[in-house]
Amino acid sequence: MNTASATVPSRLADIVGPSNVVADPAQLAAFAIDDKKPSVSVSPQLIAEIVEIVKFARKEKLAIIATGARTKLGIGLPPRQYDIALNMTRLDRLVSYDPGDLTLSAEAGIPLHKLSAILGEHHQFLPLAAPYFDRTTIGGTIASGVDGPLRQLYGTARDYLLGMEFVTGEGVVAKSGGRVVKNVTGYDIHKVMIGALGTLGVITRINFKTFPRLLSSRAFVSTFQTLERACGMRNRVSQSHLAPVTMEIFSPGVANLFSTETASRIAPNSIPENILGGSRWIFTSGFAGNPNALARYENDLRKMAEECGAVDAAVLEGPQLASAFALKREFIPLALSFSSAATILKISVLPRQIAEALTAATREAESRHLPWVVMARGVGMIYFAILAGESSEATKQQVVQASDNILLACAALGGNATIPWCPTAWKNTLRVWGPPRADFAQMLKLKKAFDPDAILSPGRFVGGI
């Protein structure tokens, strides 16, 4: 922070009132990102206040990072500069909700679970089954770009986001899209804000399409001796007319992750031993519908599993299903809390390349005796967690080599790989955002249009944007 630093809290207090400004270093520890603490945190309640804060920061050359429930701030590179934590949790109003039209507009700081509860009263939901579900805000969920198990059927936020309002790096309130379910008026700017880690603007309001609650649902689970067979099952289902709600493959050893104390809090109802235990790969797929459709799914999936060489199969429903779903949704937090130096690679490949990508990844980890666990979504998103137990230099070297090689292998397959989660101390060595990207120059142009002085979340994004 520059020389004006001493007066910053009082200047911010002029905008939002002294009770909404925190300058006490002990309290600011809660806003640290990669061990970097801000000099001040400020909690606006109005968009007009955010405008003033951003304009002030720009004038004083201070860096702002918007925060919500602060569950996913570890994603990306350490901030280059971090002066003001813009705590968005007081911006938590439901602006409008038209259940008859299945659309809503909410402020960014509203917790996802709170929004879900409101929708639930109208038998509707948002398919954003994001990790840290019980705490995360919708703004944080969108800005961090995390996905969830429901993307198999519903896609990601980009598929049901209708519009957005945000404050640019110049302190200008702007919006794109609208509130109706179909709209091509103006550029779809809201799409580039998804997963941008707040580097383009401070998201203030988000408009969504909502969905009717699913009829009763169940999950089919089967186990396989090999990864190839589990992937074979995935392929078999994709070629059929079945349209499952979720579809994942888990590696052997996921039971360890799912049987910790944290896991039992998230998922109080245990999953059958024959499914979770042992050394087998697990295929799981949720489905929903009327009783006839449920019977059809169950019947077809059992048959397919048999054809694909499944060892075991089961159907989960009721509380067990809820627990299994929560475990899937919370895979990332569970992996991060499992070991102190957990490093999670996010890999995307074409669906038919899952086996190949995973074979390469597991080989790299195994040959270095690094413990690992995997969740692969049927659409081709793989979360490969290296569960390093300690952050020693030797371990770091092993993880760096393994992940470098995995990144290369994925690039060779034409896929993408990044390392969104890893120990802070390793971030300068690991290729957090993967190999350099050919479209990086085009991203820089966008950043300059939104935030010419680079005061928003500087340094955290791809290529150090």
Partner 1 sequence: MDSHAINDLKKLLGADAVLHRPEELLLYEYDGSVEVARPNCVVFPRHTKEVVGIVQIANRYQIPMIGRGAGTGLSGGALARQGGVLVVFSRMNRILEIDVENQCAVVQPGVVNADLSVAVAQTGLHFAPDPSSQKASTIGGNVSENSGGPHTLAYGVTTNHVHSLEAVLPTGELVRLGSPALDSPGYDLPGLFVGSEGTLALVTEITVKLTRLPETVKTLLAIFDTVDDATETVVDITARGITPAACEMLDGWTIRAVEAYVHAGFPVDCAAVLLLEVDGLREAAEQHAEEVADVCRLHHAREVRVARDARERDLLWKGRKNAFGAVGRLSPTYYVQDGVIPRTKLPQTLRRINEIGEKYGFEIGNIFHAGDGNLHPIILFDAREEKQFQRAVASADEIIGFCIEMGGSITGEHGVGMEKDRLMPLLFTEDDMNLMRRVRDAYNPVGLLNPGKIFPDTKGCGEIHVRPLPVAGASRA
Give the residue with the Cβ less far from partner 1, 2 or 292: 292
Give the residue with the Cβ less far from partner 1, 255 or 410: 410
Q: Could you tell me the smallest distance in angstroms from the CB atom of residue 417 to partner 1?
A: 8
Q: Could you tell me the smallest distance in angstroms from the CB atom of residue 130 to partner 1?
A: 14
**Residues with Cβ < 8 Å from 48, sequence gap 6 or more?**
none
Bridge partners (DSSP) of residue 286 are: 219, 246
Residue linked to tokens 């009327």: 290
* Angle between helix 331-338 and 318-329 (nearest 10): 60
Q: Could you tell me the smallest distance in angstroms from the CB atom of residue 462 to partner 1?
A: 4
Q: Could you tell me the smallest distance in angstroms from the CB atom of residue 267 to partner 1?
A: 26
Q: What's the start-to-end Cα distance of the chain, in Å?
A: 20
Give the residue with the Cβ less far from partner 1, 38 or 177: 177
**Residues with Cβ < 8 Å from 401, sequence gap 6 or more?**
364, 368
| Burial of 292 (C-beta count, 10 Å sphere; 0-12/13-18/19+) | exposed
Give the residue with the Cβ less far from partner 1, 90 or 175: 175
Give the residue with the Cβ less far from partner 1, 39 or 199: 199
**Separation CA 306–CA 72 (nearest Å):** 40
Helix (H) or strand (E) holding 333: helix 331-338
Q: Could you tell me the smallest distance in angstroms from the CB atom of residue 212 to partner 1?
A: 3
Q: Could you tell me the smallest distance in angstroms from the CB atom of residue 387 to partner 1?
A: 23
Q: Could you tell me the smallest distance in angstroms from the CB atom of residue 205 to partner 1?
A: 13
φ and ψ of 164, to 5 deg: -155, 150
Asked if 293 and 224 count as a contact pair (C-beta separation under 8 A), the reply is: no
Strands (E), 251-330: 281-288, 312-316
DSSP string over 77-126: SPPS---EEEEGGG---EEEEETTTTEEEEETTSBHHHHHHHHHHTTEE-
Give the residue with the Cβ less far from partner 1, 265 or 448: 448
Q: What angle do CA 378, 380, 383 make, to 5 degrees?
A: 95
Give the residue with the Cβ less far from partner 1, 38 or 148: 148
Q: Name all contacts of 271-274 with Cβ < 8 Å and 24+ positions apart.
A: 271/221, 271/316, 271/320, 271/323, 271/324, 271/327, 272/314, 272/320, 274/223, 274/312, 274/314
Q: Could you tell me the smallest distance in angstroms from the CB atom of residue 335 to partner 1?
A: 18
The four Cα atoms 167, 202, 178, 245 give a dihedral, to 10 degrees, of 170
Q: What angle do CA 323, 327, 328 make, to 5 degrees?
A: 120
Q: Could you tell me the smallest distance in angstroms from the CB atom of residue 430 to partner 1?
A: 14
φ and ψ of 353, to 5 deg: -100, 5
Give the residue with the Cβ less far from partner 1, 78 or 253: 78
Give the residue with the Cβ less far from partner 1, 8 or 66: 66
Q: Could you tell me the smallest distance in angstroms from the CB atom of residue 77 to partner 1?
A: 12
Q: Could you tell me the smallest distance in angstroms from the CB atom of residue 139 to partner 1?
A: 17
Asked if 427 and 348 count as a contact pair (C-beta separation under 8 A), the reply is: no
Give the residue with the Cβ less far from partner 1, 266 or 465: 465
Q: Could you tell me the smallest distance in angstroms from the CB atom of residue 351 to partner 1?
A: 6
Give the residue with the Cβ less far from partner 1, 208 or 258: 208
Give the residue with the Cβ less far from partner 1, 271 or 432: 432
Residue linked to tokens 């909404």: 20
